[in-house]
Amino acid sequence: MSYRIAIIEDDDLLRQNYADAFEKSGYQVESFAGRAEAQNIFQSRLPDLAIIDIGLGDEIDGGFALCQWLRKRSEQLPIIFLSARDDDIDIVSGLRMGADDYLTKDVSLPHLVARVAALFRRIEVMAEPEQNKANVLVSGDLEIDGERLSCHWKSELIDLTLTEFWIVFALAKQPGHVKSRDQLMQDSQLVVDDGTITSHIKRIRKKFAAVDPEFDRIDTVYGIGYRWKGDS
């Protein structure tokens, strides 16, 4: 059974392009131009994953409303915001509403498809009994599961978005090794400017600090990038 992806995007051409790409990758695609028609269908049947644009036609924040509406119906449904807006405030609001990831429209189709695949992979792994720990990285207090895309610090779950997860994963894989912003962008499959990486790091630190106020493992190496401080 192939996964069913819902694409809610008000630009017809773009929506069609996304739909084509996902169909080519073997997914079923339902595409909607607006919130109302999407909700109409979702009322009877939820998709397996939703890709939502924030501005939907006349509704400037229609995507946010749709996300909240979907979250109320399903805690697990993977939701990705895909928007032209790249303000921090939009990203923060989108993620706060429970989206799994927030991407700007700069993202390339292969990257987008890879993210979707990763999210489905996580669902599959979660469904399996917890035995396969092949792709689990443990470094001191950090435990990071490459299959389930989950991250624990001192045994507490850190709720990271997919992008954030990949950044942490890239850093933690090689403790003490400085990762430049470019490398992090590649690893997290982002096309963004330096400032965006900085704000991702900022958000990641906050999430860790929420669990452990003493958290100081992500080091800034000014002018170069970031590194994960291993246990000394």
Angle between helices 162-173 and 194-211 (to 10 degrees): 90
* CA 174/CA 127 separation, integer angstroms: 29
Residues in 213-232 at the binding interface with other proteins, rule: CB under 8 A: 220-225
Helix (H) or strand (E) holding 91: helix 88-96
Among 2, 40, 43, 108, binds other proteins (CB under 8 A): 108
Q: How far is the CB of 222 from other proteins (least distance, A)?
A: 4
What number of helices (H) and strands (E) belong to the chain? 8, 12
User: Does 96 engage in binding with other proteins (CB under 8 A)?
Assistant: no
* CA 111/CA 5 separation, integer angstroms: 16
Q: How far is the CB of 84 from other proteins (least distance, A)?
A: 4
Among 40, 193, 216, 229, binds other proteins (CB under 8 A): 193
Q: Rounded to a whole number, what is the distance in angstroms from the first to the last CA of the chain?
A: 48
User: Does 33 engage in binding with other proteins (CB under 8 A)?
Assistant: no
Angle between helices 88-96 and 194-211 (to 10 degrees): 40
Among the listed ranges 27-35, 39-47, 84-92, 164-172, the one in contact with other proteins (CB under 8 A) is 84-92
* CA 230/CA 232 separation, integer angstroms: 6
What residues does 152 pair with on adjacent strands?
A: 143, 157
Among the listed ranges 56-64, 83-91, 137-145, 165-173, the one in contact with other proteins (CB under 8 A) is 83-91
Among 195, 209, 216, 229, binds other proteins (CB under 8 A): 195
User: Does 110 engage in binding with other proteins (CB under 8 A)?
Assistant: yes
Among 1, 89, 127, 134, binds other proteins (CB under 8 A): 89
Reference 7, options 43, 47, 45; nearest CA is: 47
User: Does 179 engage in binding with other proteins (CB under 8 A)?
Assistant: no
Tokens matching residue 12:
């017809």
User: Does 84 engage in binding with other proteins (CB under 8 A)?
Assistant: yes
Size of the site for other proteins (CB under 8 A): 35
Q: Name the site residues for other proteins (rule: CB under 8 A).
A: 11, 13-14, 17-18, 20-21, 24, 84-89, 104-106, 108-110, 180, 191-196, 198-199, 220-225
